[in-house]
Amino acid sequence: MRLLLRWLITAIALGVAVAVVPGITVQGDAFLYVAFTAVILGLINAFVRPLLRLLSCPFILLTLGLFLLVINAFTLWLSAEIAQRVFGIPFVVDGFVPALVGGILISLVSWGLNLLLPDAA
């Protein structure tokens, strides 16, 4: 149940980014494509992001954590690329700036929605 809820939060946050950030677009059945891209983003965040954080630890320390924003941007861009190239989903992140702004927005929306949920430990 918790996994499904996390996926839903990620899908909502991704949908907000598509609606608000110029340069992040999806064509066709937007809800279905955003939902599927949220699965891809969740898998990348679960498996690739920890490795990126470990490998870039000196940069994270040097920039006082700001390099984490670059990692967020990269994972969003990578999710869009996998969605397009592997699955043919027309989810587009058009460059670094939209990926950076989208990553920040997705993080903020996810954080806000997680605050509304009861802590199920």
For 71-102, write each residue's pLDDT tens digit: 999 999 999 999 999 999 999 999 999 999 99
For residue 41, give the nearest of 12, 78, 70 by alpha carbon. 78
Say if CB 80 and CB 93 are below 8 A apart: yes
Helix (H, G, I), strand (E, B) or coil at 114: helix
85: tokens are 């190239």
What does the pLDDT read at residue 1? Answer: 81
Report the predicted TM-score, pTM, of the whole model to 2 decimal places: 0.93
Residue 121 in this model has a pLDDT that exceeds 60? no
Calpha distance 84→73 (Å, rounded): 17
Diameter of the chain by CA atoms?
A: 42
Indicate the average pLDDT of the chain: 94
Residue 11 in this model has a pLDDT that exceeds 90? yes
116 C-beta neighbours (distance < 10 Å), count: 7
Calpha distance 26→91 (Å, rounded): 4
What does the pLDDT read at residue 61? Answer: 97
